[in-house]
Amino acid sequence: MTALDRGRPARNAGQRPAVPVKLLYFAWLRARIGCAEEEIDLSPDVRDVAGLLDWLQSRGGGYAEALRDLSVVRVAVNQDYVGREHPLREGDEVAIFPPVTGG
Amino acid sequence: MIRVQREDFDVGAELERLAAGNHRIGGVASFIGLVRDMGGSDRVSALTLEHYPGMTEKKLAEIETEAHRRWPLDAVLVIHRYGRLHPGDRIVLVATASPHRESALAACNFLIDWLKTDAPFWKSEETPAGERWVASRAEDEAATRRWSSQP
C-alpha cells in the first residue's frame, strides 16, 4: 500500500473505476434542474438507475426539488425506457424526464 | 413513415400520397390532433412542444413496426410537430391504409394511443396565470394498456 492509497476509504477496494455517462433532462425536470445536459463521472458505488437518482437528489438545490417525487420521473437509457434496477455502463446516455404528454 | 418536424403539414396532400399508386388499398383512416384553446379552466394562448430528438423517432418507428405486426397495413404515416403552436394549429397526423377499413381504423386508434404514452414529447401551455407544463392523464395510460391484450 502506498501513502496515496492509505487516504482512500476502504470500501473502494476492489470496486470499478468512475463511469462517465451523459445525462439529459427534459420538460419541467430540465427547468427545475437548470440545465439540459451534462457529462458526469459516476462514482463507483452508483451502479444502476436507482443509485443515480439517489445521488442526483443528494446534490440538493434544483436536483432535490426536481426529483422529490420519483413517481413522476421516467428514465431512458440509450433511448429506451428502463426500470430503476437497470445497470449503468460507461458511455450511456441517460435521459430523465416527466411522463410524456404528446399527441 | 415517421416525420418529426417544426413545420405544418398539408393533410390532403399527405393522405393522397399515402394511397397513391397502390390499388390494393380500400381504406385510409386518419387522426389529426389540434391545439385546444382551453387547458382545464384556463384559456391557452400558445403551446410549446418539446421532444427528445433521436428517442422520439426511435419510439415512433417501434410503434409503427408494432402496428404492421398486428394488422395488414399497406402504409402508415405519423407526422408530429414540435415548437411553439397556437390554438387551432395541427400537432399530429396519424394515417393508415389497408385493403379493409377495420384494420385501418383499428391501427390508427392504436397508433395515437401508443404515441400519447410512449413518444417523448412534452407540452407547455401559455395561460393568463403563466406558463405551465401539461400533466399526463391517467385516461391516456389506460387507453394504451387496453391494447396489450388485443387483437
> What is the per-residue pLDDT for A4?
42
Which fold does the domain A34-103 belong to in CATH? Ubiquitin-like (UB roll) (3.10.20)
Q: CB burial class (10 A; 0-12, 13-18, 19+) of residue A31?
A: middle
Q: Which of A27, A79, A103 sits opposite B133 (nearest CB)?
A: A27
How far apart are alpha carbons B37 and A67 in whole angstroms?
31
**pLDDT tens digit sequence for B10-48:** 999 999 999 999 999 999 999 999 999 998 889 999 999
> What is the per-residue pLDDT for A54?
97
Q: What is the pTM of this model?
A: 0.90
Judged against a pLDDT cut of 50, whether residue B53 lies above it is answered with yes
C-alpha cell at position B7 = 413545420
Neighboring chain A residues of B120 at a CB cutoff of 8 Å: 26, 76, 95, 97, 100, 102
A97/B80 touch (CB, cutoff 8 Å), yes or no: no
A101/B122 touch (CB, cutoff 8 Å), yes or no: yes
Pairing, β A93-97 against β A19-25: parallel
Return the domain boundaries, chain A: 34-103
Place of cell 402496428: B67
B116/A24 touch (CB, cutoff 8 Å), yes or no: no
Judged against a pLDDT cut of 60, whether residue B87 lies above it is answered with yes
Task: Return the bridge partners of A38, or none.
Answer: A23
Q: Which helix (H) or strand (E) holds B43?
A: strand B42-43
Residue of chain B minimizing CA distance to A27: B122
**ipTM here:** 0.91
Return the domain boundaries, chain B: 2-149
Low-confidence ranges of chain A (pLDDT < 50): 1-13
Judged against a pLDDT cut of 60, whether residue B105 lies above it is answered with yes
**pLDDT tens digit sequence for A60-73:** 999 999 999 999 99
- Which residue type sits at B132? R
CB atoms within 10 A of CB B6: 10
Q: Is A69 on the interface with B (CB under 8 A)?
A: no
Q: Report whether B46 contacts B123 (CB < 8 A).
A: no
Residue of chain B minimizing CA distance to A25: B52
Residue of chain B minimizing CA distance to A37: B52
CATH number of B2-149: 3.90.1170.40
- The whole-chain average pLDDT of chain B stands at 95
Q: Report whether B51 contacts B121 (CB < 8 A).
A: yes
